Amino acid sequence: MNVYDFTVKAMDGTDVDLSQYKGKVTLVVNTATECGFTPQYKNLQEIYDEFKDQDFDILDFPCNQFANQAPDSNEEIHTFCTGRFGITFPQFGKIDVNGENADPLWKYITENTMFQGFDGPAKLMLTPIVKKMDKDYKNNGNIKWNFTKFLVDKEGNIVARFEPTKDMKDVRDAVAALL
């Protein structure tokens, strides 16, 4: 089993078979429009623009599980992202990434990766919040916050996990190396 074996919901609620991304490197991201990391949309779009012609895609999954930072409808989220950040990569329907209602794709992702630790100054802010939500947060693959990213190879295997505090240059460099 791999990432490309799953079906997810499009923004309009229709099914999208991720097997259509086989043969591409993808970056799978859980996002939110009212988060301190929301400006990463700009970086994601820059990475997409740089590599989209090299069999690369970004798959954006809005999620409202972290401090209710994606409260809007799918359409409102899409309008915000395209209007403010010029997003042109695929955006899917809002989902849960953790817990009993987690989307099956995200259950698979969290069961097959481990938390990588927070970097930089945001570590001081995020660690106590995450620790309250999950006392064992260091020892599991649950998503800790918005803008956690997963680099997936052309066969659908998860090859890297980037926490939201990871420098976006490192994310870009990992994409370039895999391509």
pLDDT digits (tens, 9 = 90+) for 140-153: 999 999 999 999 99
User: For position 90, which CATH number holds?
Assistant: 3.40.30.10
Task: Please report which confidence band the pLDDT of residue 124 belongs to, taking 50, 70 and 90 as the band edges.
Answer: confident
Identify which of 159, 145, 144 has the alpha carbon closest to the alpha carbon of residue 26. 159
Q: Are 153 and 25 in contact (CB under 8 A)?
A: yes
Give catalytic residues, as residue numbers.
Answer: 35
Give me the domain span that covers residue 163: 3-178
Look at the pTM and tell me if it is higher than 0.75. Answer: yes
What digits encode the pLDDT tens for the residues 101-112? 999 999 999 999
Give the other-Cβ count within 10 Å of 132's Cβ.
9
Give the number of domains in the chain.
Answer: 1
